[in-house]
Amino acid sequence: MIDKLTWRRFDPAPKTIIALFLWWLSVFFALTLPLNNVLAADAVILVSADDQFAYATACFEQKDYATAADEFKRFVFFFPDDKRIDQAEFYIGLSAFYTGDHQKALSRFREIHEKLGFEGIGMSAVLQAARIRAATGDYMGAADFLHNRTQNAPGSGETGILNYHLGWLYVETGHFARAGMHFDAIDPDDPAFPQASEISAHLKEYTRIPSKSPPVAGLLSIVPGGGYLYCGRYQDAFISLVLNGMMAWAAVESFEDDRHGLGGLITVVGAGFYAGNIYGAATAAHKYNRQQQTAFARDLKNRFSVHLFSSMPGPGAAWTVQYQF
């Protein structure tokens, strides 16, 4: 007799189900992870011209000039047909200046000017190049640069802008007569002519600037302290008189006591102090004149709210024409 098979329903334990699920999950991740890596490697982040320019501008405004220069260069490379290319080039030049690379900045602005001439940003590049030279102390180089541009300017409008800046450059350096000549050279039809005429009229007052003559200061210093007294430096005059008087008295006393060696030594030292008294008085006269000229120039700039060559702001719409009305 054959025993009947008894079938039992298979009812797996919960632990078995969990183990199978974890095994299936591990196999799934093992198979899909390489595919995910490939997809991630092929992913591309798209940046628009507006986003790139905005980011570069933000870096510049935050004074992160090195990063700003790099980002504007990327903008120029990836978006060569964008209408803001010239503006980006201008920012690159400014960033180079602010990071201390003055020659690179000048080269960049010269390239912009050669490309655009005297139009828009091209004129701004000319003015910025001159201001960079002035900011580094090369005022005569800045003046020569602008003078050369006046010879190639296509019209009276461009010449007027250059003469206006030349005028203020010479105000900055204390050459007030030359400054007046450039303001007077602006065409009567130029929008800046009314202000230029007013500036020129004020510049004629430079002849009234108080001054001290260095030769007179030196001559008066024959009496120790006389030159300083002439320059209004009363404390220095008193010190010079006392010091030179004491040296002379000590030398005389030494010779009267037959201490000729000591007397000779004091005389040599005293002669140095005496010569210093004369030289110092002449220098004080020069310093006095510079202070008066600086004060005159400062008052003139404040009167017209113009500070073209005493600071280096960033680019802006007002850069193209710096007239103040």
Q: In this structure, is residue 4 part of a structural domain? A: no
Structure tokens at 294: 């600086």
Structure tokens at 287: 């310093």
Q: Tokens 């591990």 map to which residue?
A: 26
Q: In this structure, is residue 225 part of a structural domain? A: yes
* Cα–Cα distance for residue pair 197/202, rounded to 1 Å: 9
Residue 30 has pLDDT above 60, yes or no: no
Model confidence over 255-286: pLDDT tens digits? Answer: 888 887 887 888 888 888 889 999 999 999 99
Residue 168: give its domain's CATH number.
1.25.40.10
Three-state SS sequence of 235-263:
HHHHHHHHHHHHHHHHHHHHHHCCCHHHH
27: confidence class by pLDDT, cuts 50, 70, 90: low
Length of the chain: 325
Residue that wins the pLDDT comparison between 262 and 111: 111
Containing domain of residue 59, as a range? 49-208
Residues 174 and 110 in one domain: yes
Residues 201 and 62 in one domain: yes
* Cα–Cα distance for residue pair 236/239, rounded to 1 Å: 5
Residue 153: which of 187, 105, 201 has the closest Cα? 187
Number of domains in the chain: 2
Residues 171 and 96 in one domain: yes
Structure tokens at 114: 């050669």
Residues 121 and 96 in one domain: yes
Q: In this structure, is residue 108 part of a structural domain? A: yes
Q: Are 284 and 233 in contact (CB under 8 A)?
A: yes
